């Protein structure tokens, strides 16, 4: 809503700043930002020196706190064109959905944080809103059978923003990583909501992990090698490109007693091979995108070692100049939570295409807007 052609954004639940950096690369200036987790907040402030950072729980941030932060940054709330953020809904993740009862899951405070995000949006009243979350959110239902994604859309509507969502796959947007995230775009203006078209729609176009990790040097920030025991290194040497634990010879697989015998020394049974799933001892394939970056370690596609945090950052398309602060676990968590920068840039460019014309568009009445049938939207 800036009176100039400058594009101004505010970020909430910013984490270490993957989405915000992508938005900035697209041409927005993120002038204020907020997060609660101290390690991510420190990384963000270390890399976004020009943003006014509000550290703390978003539930404690009201109109005054926002106006004060904007004043320090040299702006007012009327200057904000776009608000972006990723309020967590971990209580609705696949893992938690398997481990706890649904009614208990619904009590998780993190599941209401998207409402706090939209409360702040309501104060700033930007022309457009971009919100991201885990892909699993598309299938999650409450104990009453309501889809969480539909409740989020309804909440947007309550604040007079129409909203649509789509699951985007990062490898289709120039990211050397297979990663699915759901994105919500909202607006209170009379414009059609559109998502960016894939820039790399075909498998032959995908960026690969091998190419992403080329020409990396030890003097880069966060280039910390894991101190791996020889027993594990022996296993790593036997994992082929794209393979994992299941590809090991039986002699190297973990074996445990599965019987109920108390005296294991004199037990007549033999140890049995333990099954492993997911990313355990997973080696990246040099000619394919990486699997989703998370806390779990990956084996280098060509070298017999785990990849470093810097190499994970490359898979997340962070520039080498972006430095992560915190201990090993904190840095890995920040990387696992982040939106790939290049995907953020593509989304930012789509938002940018609405400006400056959207500023002169009429406000919409959500009650008269025909919403897309959200249940029919897939990850196309």
Q: What angle do CA 40, 308, 223 make, to 5 degrees?
A: 80
CA atoms within 13 Å, Cβ hemisphere of 4: 7
Could you report how far apart the first and last alpha carbons of the chain are, in Å? 32
Measured between alpha carbons, how far is 67 from 210 in angstroms, rounded to an integer?
Answer: 46
What global pTM score does this model have? Answer: 0.89
| Contact between 7 and 30 (Cβ < 8 Å) | no
| Contact between 81 and 57 (Cβ < 8 Å) | no
Measured between alpha carbons, how far is 189 from 162 in angstroms, rounded to an integer?
Answer: 8
Grouped pLDDT means (10 residues each) for the chain, 380 residues: 76 98 98 97 97 95 97 97 88 43 48 88 98 86 80 93 97 98 97 97 97 97 96 96 94 84 78 80 97 95 98 98 97 97 98 97 78 41
**For residue 279, what pLDDT is reported?**
81
Cβ neighbors of 284 (< 8 A, separation 6 or more) are 209, 210, 241, 242, 290, 291, 298, 299, 300, 301, 307
| Contact between 372 and 14 (Cβ < 8 Å) | no
Measured between alpha carbons, how far is 49 from 27 in angstroms, rounded to an integer?
Answer: 17
DSSP 3-state assignment of 298?
coil
**For the chain, which domains are there?**
7-206+336-376 (3.40.50.150), 225-307 (no CATH)
Measured between alpha carbons, how far is 297 from 239 in angstroms, rounded to an integer?
Answer: 14
Query: Which entry of 16, 89, 163, 261 is annotated as an active-site residue?
Result: 89
Among this protein's residues, is 89 annotated catalytic? yes
Beta bridge mates, 147: 141
């Amino acid at each position: 809503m800036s009176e100039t052609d400058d594009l101004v954004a505010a970020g909430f639940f910013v984490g270490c700043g993957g989405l915000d950096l992508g938005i900035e690369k697209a041409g927005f200036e993120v002038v204020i930002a907020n997060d609660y987790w101290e390690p991510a907040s420190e990384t963000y402030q270390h890399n976004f020196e020009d943003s006014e950072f509000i550290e703390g729980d978003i539930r404690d941030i009201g109109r005054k706190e926002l106006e004060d932060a904007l004043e320090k940054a040299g702006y007012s709330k009327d200057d904000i064109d776009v608000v972006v953020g990723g309020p967590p809904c971990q209580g609705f993740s696949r893992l938690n959905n398997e481990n706890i009862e649904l009614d208990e899951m619904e009590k998780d405070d993190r599941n209401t944080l998207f409402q706090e995000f939209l409360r702040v949006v309501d104060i700033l009243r930007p022309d457009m809103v971009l919100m991201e979350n885990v892909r699993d959110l598309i299938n999650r239902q409450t104990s009453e059978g309501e889809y969480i994604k539909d409740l989020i859309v309804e909440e947007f509507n309550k604040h007079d923003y129409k909203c649509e969502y789509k699951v985007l796959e990062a490898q289709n947007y120039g990211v050397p990583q297979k990663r699915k995230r759901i994105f919500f775009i909202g607006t209170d203006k009379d414009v059609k909501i559109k998502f960016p078209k894939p820039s790399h729609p075909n498998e032959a176009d995908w960026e690969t992990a091998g190419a992403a990790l080329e020409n990396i040097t030890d003097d880069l920030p966060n280039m910390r090698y894991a101190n791996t025991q020889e027993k594990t290194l022996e296993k790593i040497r036997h994992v082929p490109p794209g393979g994992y634990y299941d590809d090991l010879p039986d002699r190297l697989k973990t074996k445990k007693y599965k019987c109920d015998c108390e005296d294991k020394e004199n037990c007549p049974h033999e140890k049995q091979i333990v099954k492993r799933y997911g990313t355990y001892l997973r080696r990246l394939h040099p000619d394919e995108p990486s699997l989703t970056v998370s806390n779990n370690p990956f084996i280098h596609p060509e070298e017999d070692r785990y990849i470093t945090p810097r190499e994970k950052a490359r898979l997340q398309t962070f520039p080498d100049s972006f430095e992560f602060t915190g201990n090993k676990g904190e840095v890995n968590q920040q990387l696992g939570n982040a939106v790939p920068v290049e995907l953020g840039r593509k989304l930012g460019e789509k938002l940018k295409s609405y400006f400056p014309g959207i500023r002169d568009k009429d406000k919409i009445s959500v009650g008269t807007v025909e919403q897309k049938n959200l249940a029919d939207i897939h990850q196309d």
